Amino acid sequence: MGRHFLQIPGPTNVPDRVLRAIAQPTIDHRGPEFARLALDLQERLKGVFRTSGPVVVYPSSGTGAWEAALVNTLSPGDKVVAFETGHFSGLWCAMAARLGLVVDVVPGDWRHGADPDALAERLTPDVAAVMVVHNETSTGVRSRVPEIRAALDRAGHPALLLVDTISSLASMDYRHDEWSVDVTVGCSQKGLMLPPGIGFNAVSDKALAHRGGLPRSYWDWEPVIAANRQGFFPYTPPTNLLYGLREALVMLEEEGLEAVFARHDRHAEATRRAVRSWGLDVLCADEREHSSSLTAVLMPDGHDADALRRLILERYDLSLGTGLGRLAGRVFRIGHLGHFNDLMLAGTLSGVEMGLAAAGVPIKEGGTRAALAYLENGR
Ligand code: PLP
């Protein structure tokens, strides 16, 4: 009984307002009512990406939007520089290699973000693009995109900057235009509080002018952007998800993006205080790079994070994120993004604290109390 706690770092809880919007009857996607919806969405999406340029919408997961970013901008054999920040950066690199790109990976320890200092020496003249995952969902580490931009500018290098904001969009400060990002990759099921099923590319003028030569058809920006001018798509769009998207964007506008970011920052800080009070370690090792949408927690040696997650799911109906790739069994991840408030965090942390005790993990009591004290005294 009671509501399930879905505190994985995406898909996130979908607000009832958004669910109700999705439940409207499907309409003719070639009719005037749909055109009004699509034109309205185009404007509202610019706000969340902080761009004045086009945002291409795909019926896809984030992985599809990754592929779109690569095939629209790059040509076979192009060299790209990418940073190993965790599981998802690795998947994006593997995709780039499969598409025939030459990927120069800056190695990382999965506890730090992309290193702006390491970029300069990699920026040979043949580099066509730099790929960065803004918020590495597998580790809870935020890469400092403005510093990556500054390193490119210092070198006077024309490489395109491609950024994955799949778990930071509409949760953490992000500015497509101001940071001169060329393609921002996003999707629906995290900060946008929607079910999975929509992928996004926000596209700069430079990226539009660049146009690589990798084979593409479904993912080609051009027919989408052309059809979008009249409020249509070159294929059947996910009409009901787009109703939900409009409602979610209205909710974000009502709260205000700055307030949305502040809410996420505050919940992330409260979560870290709980983790440290328990005597456990946050995986992110750099104070400047904490994610505000999730926290990855390291288990003490000899304790299995997945056994803990199973126990917490069975006893408290609370879903936490699993350790991915090389972090399997070693970390669990607390998602605190999207449609989320103080009491939901209190419930989540209580579930984690009770679960840790029940699993026999040696912790100090009172982590949840430390988080609550921060929330009480905070903004
Ligand atoms: N990039 C990041 C940072 C992610 O967190 C994810 C999924 O969680 C992806 C890419 C892949 O997105 P999807 O699973 O929607 O294809």
Q: Return the pLDDT at 44.
A: 98
What atom of ligand 1 comes closest to residue 65's alpha carbon?
16
Which atom of ligand 1 sits closest to the CA of residue 61?
A: 15
Q: How far apart, in Å, are the Cα atoms of 323 and each of 138, 278, 309?
A: 7, 19, 10
All residues at 6 or more sequence positions from 196 whose CB lies less than 8 Å from its CB, including other chains: 11, 61, 187, 188, 189
Q: Is the CB of 85 under 6 A from ligand 1?
A: no
Per-residue confidence (pLDDT) for residue 379, from 0 to 100: 55
- Verify that 52 and 133 share a domain, yes or no: yes
- Residue numbers of the domain that contains 38: 16-254
| Total number of domains in the chain | 2
Distances in whole angstroms, Cα of residue 292 to Cα of each of 271, 317, 335, 365: 10, 24, 9, 24
| Residues 95 and 60 occupy one common structural domain | yes
Give the pLDDT score at 167.
Answer: 98
Looking at residue 210, what is its pLDDT?
87
pLDDT digits (tens, 9 = 90+) for 257-288: 999 999 999 999 999 999 999 999 999 999 99
Phi-psi category of residue 193: left, alpha or beta, with phi > 0 → left and psi -120 to 50 → alpha? left
The answer, yes or no, to whether any atom of ligand 1 lies below 6 A from the CB of 10, is yes
**Of all atoms in ligand 1, which is nearest to the CA of residue 136?**
3
Other beta carbons within 10 angstroms of residue 238's beta carbon come to 21
Of 374, 366, 342, the C-alpha closest to 280 is 366
CB of 88 within 6 A of ligand 1: the answer is yes
Q: Which residues of the chain have pLDDT under 50?
A: none
Q: Among 254, 278, 302, where does a domain finish?
A: 254
Which positions make up the binding site for substrate?
A: 333
Are 186 and 208 in a shared domain?
yes
Answer yes or no: do 121 and 261 share one domain: no
- Residue tagged 């001169």 (tokens): 180
Mean residue pLDDT of the chain comes to 97
Q: Residues 326, 277: one domain?
A: yes
Listed residues 208, 230, 254: the one ending a domain: 254
CATH of the domain at 316: 3.90.1150.10
Show which of 193, 221, 254 is a domain's final residue.
254
Task: Give the single-character DSSP code of 334.
Answer: E
Alpha carbon of 185 to ligand 1 centroid (Å) = 10
Element (H, E) at 198: strand 198-203
322 CB near ligand 1 (under 6 Å): no
Are residues 284 and 221 part of one domain? no
